[in-house]
Amino acid sequence: MTSGGSNPTVSIIIPLDCVSVTADKCIRSIIRNTRKISFEIILAGDEKIIMKHSNIDPKGRIVNTITEEKSYTKICNKGLYNRNGKYFVILDPKIKVKRGWLKHMINLMDHDPTIAMVGPKILYQDGKLREAGGIVWRDGTHEPYGQYDDPRKSKYNYVKETDFISAKCLMIRKDVWNWLKGFDTRFEAGGYDVIDLAFQVRRQGFKVKFQPKSTVVLEGHDLYPVDENKGLFYNKWKETLEKEQFPKNQHHFWARDRSGRKKTILMLYMDGPDFDKSTASRMAFHYLTLFVKMDLNVIYAGEAFKRREPYTSILEKMGVEVLCGNSDEKNINEWIKRNAEYIDYAYLIFPFIAQKHINVLRNHTKAKIIYNGCDLFFLREQRNYELLKDPKMLESASKWKSMEMKLIREADVNHTLSTYEKKIVRKLFPEKKVRIVPVFIYDKNQDDSQIKSYMKREGLLFVGTFKHKPNVDGILWFVKNVFPYILRKVSDIKFFIVGSNPPKEIKSLESENIIVTGHVSDQRLESFYKNCRVVVAPLRFGAGVKGKIVEAMRYQVPVVTTRIGAEGFRKIENFIKVALNEKEFAIDVIKLYKQKKLWVKASMRTNRYINKYFSVNAAKKQMRKDIKA
């Protein structure tokens, strides 16, 4: 007998319950595709069957468990008795695992102690899907979800709850397995051993989840188990089946991820959302995260209906189904029609997105439609015209106003980020529901002890995407009219201009004192916030609440902005500096930059503001007025 180590992270059992079974391909795939995780492989069955596999692993991680038992359930129970892994994995000998198979299941368990059982996506050798979790119907019958379908479809690629995990490959916490004393050996046929185990896991208050990032391949096209032992299973779980499961072949939409008890919200926005590139995209991502925390069934569709990485995978890991265009999922409006009865809420962001879908939602669903324009586009263009007197901007403002007024009128609820814009909408539509919601939502406060001191910081910072016209105008104005005055007082000061898609006129500003970075990662952006001394938001036109200001306050960096920059914030005057002209802007920056006491006072105030208006609790309070989870 060889040793598998005294304390492996995972104990993997391969039950060999048939004389003709060979497990060498399975074992070699585990050895080849499992990295940085300690494991042991338990070969359990008749001595003659298992001895020929004992020397496959040169590191001696194979443990032989000799048993005369012939049934799968009894072999597993005996083979996993008194094993030391934190997690147990049951693996069919005809399975070959793929790279990362174990890591993704462990990560899911490690990050959520309420999950006790996890299974991977199982493919056939020809690439078709064997299953993505399983469904149990009210009469006790069961089926693999998605068998023979295209595994790339959206509905098979997000982390979700499932009725059961196949015995072909499942992971369970050791403590839970031991508490339940393994499989109920009465269910030795018909696939009910693992189904009963999953039902027992849930009865103990734990979750059973499907992890699509973990992938394994089954050799051959096996026959799915027939419903032997159905009567025994039904009698044991009759009350649960009647209460929690759906009638056979009804409501696959809910049955596939156990979402029947939840409300479903569909968010429509642009691609990604690429939350590291714009304020609106970060807002959309924060809202999706909030909806998950509110225990909603969350579905997202981007404008191009395509996968955008890494954003799509991040959302799927959170449990969000991201609709992508493959096979029968090519058109979002057709998807809405097919699934109309299941959509409780539709959250539409941006007018040019909302106008494409609001009619089909209104005509084919009973969903409450919530429109969030981010800001009033017509107001932004109107202000741009007043500044530059370009007639094209006035024409653009008129077109945007016509579109936005129609959307505001047709939506059930209108969400705005700004107090100023709420007043405008209320004045135009006094009968409509208008609610202020936060542009960003923060889980926890910045720890004051982690905030760098005044003396360790240097430089000015601007953050913003340059696809947004007010940012281009604001930087050009600041560099020409404000920064020269600052340089005369602080000659060695650096100004960091951070944001995606800087045009030529912005790139041309680079000098010894001005650094244009272009797009940066979230990690590097955080570093800028933690190392700069003052953030500037020199905006001369625009609308809505400025995410760059919220973000700066979250990192407790003092801010200097204009009246346009400060517009829409609730009671903001005591928390940031609002300059009325170029000279005042420059003087405010210099004072904050050079006076430590003033800087510290301004820095400490920002945290209180974020806690009050941009925390998870504040966001939930507002959202729950319109969305009942």
Q: What is the mean pLDDT of residues 53-72?
A: 80
Indicate the DSSP class of residue 223.
P
Helix or strand holding residue 121 (H, E): strand 115-124
Is the separation of the CB atoms in 47 and 19 below 8 Å?
no
Q: Is there a shared CATH topology between the 10-255 domain and the 264-441 domain?
A: no
pLDDT for residue 329 is more than 70 = no
Mean pLDDT (the chain) is: 92
Q: What is the mean pLDDT of residues 133-147?
A: 96
Residue 338: count of CB within 10 angstroms of its CB: 13
pLDDT, position 47: 81
Q: How confident is the model at residue 305 (pLDDT cuts 50, 70, 90)?
A: confident
Q: Where are the beta strands (DSSP E) in 425-547?
A: 433-436, 460-463, 495-498, 514-518, 534-537
Q: What is the mean pLDDT of residues 550-570?
A: 94
CA distances from 202 to 126, 162, 206, 209 (A): 34, 11, 5, 11
pLDDT for residue 223 is more than 70 = no
Residue with tokens 């202020």: 436
**In 250-390, where does DSSP find H-type helix?**
252-255, 279-293, 311-318, 332-338, 351-364, 377-388
Q: What is the mean pLDDT of residues 356-372?
A: 97
pLDDT for residue 3 is more than 50 = no
Name the percent of the chain lying above pLDDT 70: 95
pLDDT for residue 447 is more than 80 = no
pLDDT digits (tens, 9 = 90+) for 238-256: 999 999 999 999 999 999 9
Residue 328 phi, psi (nearest 5)? -80, 10
pLDDT for residue 445 is more than 70 = no
CA distances from 195 to 53, 88, 482, 507 (A): 30, 17, 69, 61
- Please list, in sequence order, all residues whose beta carbon lies within 8 angstroms of the beta carbon of residue 387, skipping any fewer than 6 positions away: 473, 540, 541
Distance of CA 510 to the CA centre of its chain: 36
pLDDT, position 225: 63
Burial of 519 per CB tally in 10 Å (0-12, 13-18, 19+):
middle
pLDDT, position 388: 86
Closest CA to 92 of 36, 146, 23, 153: 23
Q: What ranges do the domains of the chain cover?
A: 10-255, 264-441, 448-613
Kindly report the CATH class assigned to 264-441: alpha beta
pLDDT for residue 93 is more than 80 = yes
The fold adopted by the segment(s) 448-613 is: Rossmann fold (3.40.50)
pLDDT digits (tens, 9 = 90+) for 338-350: 999 999 999 999 9
The fold adopted by the segment(s) 10-255 is: Spore Coat Polysaccharide Biosynthesis Protein SpsA; Chain A (3.90.550)
pLDDT digits (tens, 9 = 90+) for 481-510: 999 999 999 999 999 999 999 999 999 999
- The vertex-98 CA angle with 144 and 7, nearest 5°, equals 100
In DSSP terms, which residues pair with 129 in a beta bridge?
A: 123
Q: What is the mean pLDDT of residues 384-389?
A: 88
